[in-house]
Amino acid sequence: MVTATATVPTGVRLKDKVCIVTGSSSGLGRAVALAFAAQGTHLVVCADLKYTPKSDFMAEEAGTPTEEVICRRYGEKKGIFVKTDVTVGTEVEALVQAAAKAGGRLDIMVNNAGIGGTENHGMVHEMTEETWDNVMNINSRSVFLGCKYACAQFMNQAPHESGHRGWIINTSSIMGLVGQAVYGAAYCASKGAVTLLTKQIAVEYAKHKIHCNCVCPGHLRTPMTQDQYQDREMRTAISTLTPWGDEWGAAEDVAKGYVYLASDDAAYVTGVALPIDGGYCAQ
């Protein structure tokens, strides 16, 4: 039910577009889903293993599922949840089909789900094969699957009124551009794979007017980094790596980059790995 607090979107940059955001229940994915809905989307399909936020840390309207926040703010059926294991091809395919059925088409695919916990850190000679495989499976294979089934849907539907068929935005990382000891080999390799997959798809599908870009966030205050941020020594050590200094980024600031890449403002943009990192990669 739509409550009395439902309001009109604050913008129209994504007016009437249908989008999927994976890893949408918390952190950056939640911020992206809410930012998209605020720009006039017809439907935001929120995909995750659980619809409830994994943590209240830095969470907007903590405790309320992302799709419910969207519906409260912008109207009934503006957001839906589809439980999805993004490492399983049949589930990702079903997710894309569910979005196309509910929204009439699919315009934007955000492959954001991923992991990066401290349990996956460590030097290569100390890392188990199971850790490597798990991180690559969740952070890289899932993006391949999202791109695969989104591209299939884009190719089989009429172009958007702009003449373009679809927009893919993958979540990479500054560690997908440079190496860093803090996050370890598996995480860096998995995000590096996302960056190069993004560029390859951009080149291969440009003739079909399908955009593929990725965002490379720096150190953000999200549930995924909660332990690091709340450890004063670790927070200080990471802060010194960024020209911005003692301030970590907010998910809401990074989400604005996703809005841009999904909008007509980026009509001639594809194959970009966009750092939003307080100047980290400029060093």
Catalogue the active-site residues: 187
3-state per-residue secondary structure call for the chain: CCCCCCCCCCCCCCCCCEEEEECCCCHHHHHHHHHHHCCCCCEEEEEECCCCCCCCCCCCCCCCCHHHHHHHHHCCCCEEEEECCCCCHHHHHHHHHHHHHHHCCCCEEEECCCCCCHHHCCCHHHCCHHHHHHHHHHHHHHHHHHHHHHHHHHHCCCCCCCCCCEEEEEECCHHHCCCCCCCHHHHHHHHHHHHHHHHHHHHHHHHHCEEEEEEEECCECCHHHHHHHHCHHHHHHHHCCCCCCCCCECHHHHHHHHHHHHCHHHCCCCCCEEEECCCHHHC
